[in-house]
Amino acid sequence: MKLLRRILLLVIALAAIAGVAAWTCPADLAYRYFGDRLAPLALRELSGTVWQGRATAAELFGQNLGALEWRLQAAPLLHGDAIAQLTLTGDGITASGLADRGADGQVSFRDVVAHMPARIAAPVLATPALDLLGTIEIDVNRARLHGAWLEEASGAAYWRDAAVAGAAQARLSDLQLTFASAAGGAISGVVHDLGGPLQADGTFTASLGRYDAQVRLAARGDDPRVTEVLQYVGQPQADGSRQLVIEGRQLGLF
């Protein structure tokens, strides 16, 4: 009986030691052995522990997003899920939310809030004569990756304090894009202005690794500065508005 009790105490002690070792395991050491499971996310210059740490650089599909901090939840690990609270800080970019890598290997995100300078959208809008000013805010209720592609998402994006400079200058209307999953694995959305000198109405669709948007733009109240700006955007229409057509490849979350 005493022997059994000693063995039981030894097992408990070893379990406690293993638990402490895992809890305090340096992040860089764990990443050497298990980092490939985070693909397509790659982390550089790690500090802290597996449960709470920091990477000086987080790269997604080879693109450096900035510094990443994490706090891993212990309870979901019992079911084979890895759920972590993430905070990202980059060049004018901040983002936070929950990331979940399930036992099936799929990666999903929820309750994500991100802010970034509007200039990041310049390559998508393809208006080289204009500099985009203001801030883009993205609120994602839920998103899921399938390999490198964004397969499911719902939420909204806003262009706050929208303005342009360069060949023409004008204060625009704040814009809103709401999006949600649609049939056939697509993600569709609606674009509209939130009131102001620029009138905007359009639609957005992303599917099979591609996205396209069509937005009608017009100067509300014939605002002369907005009218001048619109000469550099889209194609002229018979009613004096402009039709902006955007097409391209969908790369992961971007």
pLDDT, tens only, 26-73: 666 666 656 666 666 788 888 888 778 888 888 766 778 789 898 888
Three-state SS at 233? coil
Q: How many domains does the chain have?
A: 1
pLDDT at position 91 is 81
Structural domain contains residue 53: no
Quote the domain boundaries for residue 158: 106-249
% of the chain with per-residue pLDDT over 70: 75
Reply yes or no on whether the pLDDT at 254 is more than 50: no
- pTM higher than 0.85: no
Structural domain contains residue 89: no
Structural domain contains residue 25: no
Structural domain contains residue 216: yes
Average pLDDT, the chain: 80
Structural domain contains residue 175: yes
Separation between Cα atoms, residue 233 and residue 214, nearest integer Å: 12
Residues listed for the chain: 254
Structural domain contains residue 24: no
Listed in sequence order, the residues at least 6 apart from 165 whose beta carbon sits closer than 8 Å to its beta carbon are: 130, 131, 133
Structural domain contains residue 91: no
Structural domain contains residue 205: yes
